[in-house]
Chains A and B, each alone.
Chain A
Amino acid sequence: MTGRRLQYAGLAVLVALPFVGVPEYYMHILVLILIWGFVYTAWAIMGRFGLVSLGHGAFLGIGAYTVALAWNLLGLTPWLGIPLGVGLAVLVAVVIGYPCFRFRVVGHYFALVTLALGEVVRLTIVALRDHTGGSLGLTPNRYGEGTSLYALQFADKEVFYVIALLLWLAGIWIWRRVDASMARFAMDALSEDEDAAASVGVHVTAQKLRITMLSAALTALGGGVYAQYLLYVNPGTVSGIGVSLQIVFAAIAGGMFTALGPTVGAMITIVLAETLRIAIGTEVIGLDTTIYGVMLILFIIFLPKGVLGGLIELYERRTAGGAGAMAGKREVGGGA
């Protein structure tokens, strides 16, 4: 129906963008939105089930630093470096996740354990400063002229746009696969009541672990691509409490219960920051994040479902005259 037609039209526009000569600056913004949108979506895959991780910076940092270090120190191509980073992130997710879920570390406690994990990764990167460059960050070595498929380095922003678009589409596709799976019902059930879910045959620990591993893997993948795109990684921007909270809040601001919500969160935060930066200039720093902070508080108080979630709810309430209510929900859930 219209939702589906809208989807194809949107996709066509996204695919056409690099061919119509969008200025480099806007291309850069678009790539950032797509990569961060992918990372926020990866967080929302587990966040929507009440597994609020405040430590996804750990996975992002592992993904970004593994690929950069493998390239600089071992000469390992990012085509192997990125899977290596993803593997490491999954390993860390299991090491932390299994005991957490086995011993019922939930809610506040889970949030704070993951927060510690994010800080462990950040401080480890800083402490290994002989190899990682410490808090000054790390620049992957340029390969030849700067464009190479082997090194996954491209001078043209358009190439990275295509990569980021594919990545993001894959993220949305996985989100919807999870949304339509049996695992989703199991996760919904156990996020309400673990004991009740276990009593009807949900393997609580295994189920949570699988969703956490998936989320960690995707986040590390996003981190690797981010490092390849910027060709610069910094422990403060890819790991630690700062970026971990940034991930959580952007996903919530956009709406973590819909497929496109986290991407909308990425759009809002990046566009807001860039617009304010241009409008005010770089002398007045901090205004964009000040407004962002106030917005977050207001969102959580008044619009806990996020911008997109809130809009959808409003739309449903308008259109839900009678029998359409449930159908509308399905339409939106599947087609947003």
Chain B
Amino acid sequence: MVFDIYLLEAIINGLLLGGVLALLALGLNLIFGVIDVVWISYAELVMAGMYGVYWLYAFFGVPLVLAALIAIFGVAVLGFLVHYLVISPILGKPPINQLLATGGLLFFLQSFATLLFGVEFRNIGLRLPVIELWDMYFSFARILAFAAALIGMVSLYVFLKRTFMGTAIRAVAQDREIMATMGVNTRQVYLITSAIGGGLAGLAAGLLVLQYDVHPAVGLSFGPITFMICVLGGLGNLLGGFVAAFIMSQFISIGGFYLDLEWGYVIAFVFFIVMMFLRPQGILGRRG
């Protein structure tokens, strides 16, 4: 067969997956770029948001869109608290301590979710239609996730470029010390950035809950890939992370198509490790 329609299906599905991964990487990259901290527990914030949507929708009958909006706000508050309670007391300490503190947070969030909800896999029980296009099948949830992720990223771009706060955030990302002397309240910038990062995690949660079951360890299934994407694109480099998300999602999707889903991930991770040696500064990084 010269042209494999199923391969094309896998490629397009990989593209759709890339959208959500790009959204995840964006939040993490923003926080790293501005505050210089890696939140190892970032995917656990997404997990918290997924549980939030699940409970609001499945138990209290809150409309899904409203539930997702509440989750975005809720996780944004959570992000704010992460910086306020965990990061700011050790902001001047070695970066590895901050990374490890958020690792403790990972354990905490995961166990707390187990405590509250148990280890069962939970599904919001919403069946979105599957779209058929020339013998190829695409889930509507993925297309919706892709579109919403793009909208989220464009809104963040506009916010960073067009508002005063966005400009301040970009300035702090360029030079932390100088901006403090020029009258920018870096503490406030950090807190707002953390809240935005949390909000992006909340948005991702609202989109992922449509496609995947929620369970306390769900963060571990896409947490590592998110870090890989950020590093591959150059930590803190928003555009690099965006490009890397689509590269990695193609590895997963096409690898999963020819072999197994796990092999897709293995190939993606091995690619990441190899790239670290070829370009440790990231695919779009300029640092020599």
Of the residues A120, A240, A245, contact of B266 by C-beta under 8 Å? A120
Given contacts A116-B273, A119-B265, A289-B114, contact A297 B104 (CB under 8 A): yes
| Beta-carbon contact of A52 and B96 below 8 Å | yes
Chain A interface: which of B12-20, B190-198, B221-229?
B221-229
B179: shortest Cβ distance to chain A, in Å? 22
A126, A240, A293, most chain B CB atoms within 10 A: A293
Inter-chain contacts of B263 with A (CB < 8 A): 123, 127
Inter-chain contacts of B280 with A (CB < 8 A): 103-105, 109
For chain A, the bracket of interface size reads: 35 or more
| Beta-carbon contact of A293 and B109 below 8 Å | yes
Compute how far the CA of A298 lies from the CA of B109 in the bound complex, rounded to whole angstroms: 15
B57: shortest Cβ distance to chain A, in Å? 23
Chain A interface: which of B47-55, B85-93, B202-210?
B85-93
Mask, B101-138, CB within 8 Å of A = 1, is: 10111111111111100110000000000000000000
| Beta-carbon contact of B112 and A116 below 8 Å | no
Inter-chain contacts of A83 with B (CB < 8 A): none
Instruction: Say yes or no: is B257 at the interface (Cβ < 8 Å to chain A).
Output: no
Of the residues B97, B216, B269, contact of A116 by C-beta under 8 Å? B269
Instruction: Say yes or no: is B95 at the interface (Cβ < 8 Å to chain A).
Output: yes
| Beta-carbon contact of B118 and A300 below 8 Å | no
Given contacts A115-B227, A117-B273, contact A286 B96 (CB under 8 A): no
Mask, B166-209, CB within 8 Å of A = 1, is: 00000000000000000000000000000000000000000000
Of the residues B101, B114, B262, contact of A300 by C-beta under 8 Å? B101
Residue of A nearest to B279 (CB): A103
Instruction: Say yes or no: is B76 at the interface (Cβ < 8 Å to chain A).
Output: no
Instruction: Say yes or no: is B220 at the interface (Cβ < 8 Å to chain A).
Output: yes
For chain B, the bracket of interface size reads: 35 or more
Of the residues A112, A113, A123, A292, contact of B265 by C-beta under 8 Å? A123
Given contacts A249-B107, A286-B112, contact A242 B220 (CB under 8 A): yes
| Beta-carbon contact of B103 and A248 below 8 Å | yes
| Beta-carbon contact of A108 and B235 below 8 Å | yes
Inter-chain contacts of A108 with B (CB < 8 A): 38, 95-96, 99, 231, 235
Compute how far the CA of A285 lies from the CA of B116 in the bound complex, rounded to whole angstroms: 9
A115: shortest Cβ distance to chain B, in Å? 6
Compute how far the CA of A107 lies from the CA of B94 in the bound complex, rounded to whole angstroms: 10
| Beta-carbon contact of A304 and B266 below 8 Å | no
| Beta-carbon contact of A112 and B103 below 8 Å | no
Given contacts A108-B38, A112-B228, contact A119 B107 (CB under 8 A): no
Given contacts A126-B262, A241-B220, A301-B89, contact A284 B108 (CB under 8 A): no
Of the residues B89, B107, B265, B269, contact of A245 by C-beta under 8 Å? B107
Residue of A nearest to B262 (CB): A127
| Beta-carbon contact of A100 and B227 below 8 Å | no
Instruction: Say yes or no: is B276 at the interface (Cβ < 8 Å to chain A).
Output: yes
Instruction: Say yes or no: is B272 at the interface (Cβ < 8 Å to chain A).
Output: yes
Inter-chain contacts of B113 with A (CB < 8 A): 286
Instruction: Say yes or no: is B270 at the interface (Cβ < 8 Å to chain A).
Output: yes
Instruction: Say yes or no: is A181 at the interface (Cβ < 8 Å to chain B).
Output: no
Inter-chain contacts of A99 with B (CB < 8 A): 276-277
| Beta-carbon contact of B119 and A285 below 8 Å | yes
A263: shortest Cβ distance to chain B, in Å? 19
Compute how far the CA of A294 lies from the CA of B272 in the bound complex, rounded to whole angstroms: 32
Instruction: Say yes or no: is A199 at the interface (Cβ < 8 Å to chain B).
Output: no
Residue of B nearest to A240 (CB): B220
Given contacts A127-B260, A297-B108, contact A103 B277 (CB under 8 A): yes
Compute how far the CA of A285 lies from the CA of B40 in the bound complex, rounded to whole angstroms: 23
Of the residues B86, B99, B111, B265, contact of A297 by C-beta under 8 Å? B86
Inter-chain contacts of B276 with A (CB < 8 A): 99-100, 105, 109, 113
Given contacts A105-B280, A120-B266, A248-B103, contact A115 B260 (CB under 8 A): no
Instruction: Say yes or no: is A96 at the interface (Cβ < 8 Å to chain B).
Output: yes
Given contacts A115-B224, A127-B266, A249-B104, contact A287 B86 (CB under 8 A): no
Compute how far the CA of A304 lies from the CA of B95 in the bound complex, rounded to whole angstroms: 13
Residue of A nearest to B220 (CB): A241
Instruction: Say yes or no: is A3 at the interface (Cβ < 8 Å to chain B).
Output: no
B110: shortest Cβ distance to chain A, in Å? 7
Compute how far the CA of A120 lies from the CA of B112 in the bound complex, rounded to whole angstroms: 27
| Beta-carbon contact of A248 and B100 below 8 Å | yes
Inter-chain contacts of B96 with A (CB < 8 A): 50, 52, 107-108, 111
Instruction: Say yes or no: is A296 at the interface (Cβ < 8 Å to chain B).
Output: yes
B30: shortest Cβ distance to chain A, in Å? 16
Of the residues B99, B104, B115, B223, contact of A111 by C-beta under 8 Å? B99
Compute how far the CA of A96 lies from the CA of B106 in the bound complex, rounded to whole angstroms: 26
Inter-chain contacts of B104 with A (CB < 8 A): 249, 293-297, 299-300
Sample of 9 A–B contacts (CB below 8 Å)? A99-B276, A109-B280, A111-B99, A120-B270, A123-B265, A124-B266, A289-B110, A290-B115, A297-B86
Closest 7 CB pairs of A and B: A293-B108, A286-B114, A296-B104, A293-B107, A289-B111, A127-B262, A286-B115
Residues of chain B whose beta carbon lies under 8 Å from any beta carbon of chain A: 38, 40, 86, 89-90, 93, 95-97, 99-101, 103-115, 118-119, 216-217, 220, 223-224, 227-228, 231, 235, 259-260, 262-263, 265-266, 269-270, 272-273, 276-277, 280
Residues of chain A whose beta carbon lies under 8 Å from any beta carbon of chain B: 50, 52, 96, 99-100, 103-105, 107-109, 111-113, 115-117, 119-120, 123-124, 126-127, 240-242, 245, 248-249, 252, 284-290, 292-297, 299-301, 304
Other than A52-B96, A293-B109, A296-B103, give 9 A-B pairs with Cβ distance below 8 A: A108-B38, A115-B224, A119-B269, A123-B263, A242-B217, A248-B103, A286-B115, A290-B111, A290-B114
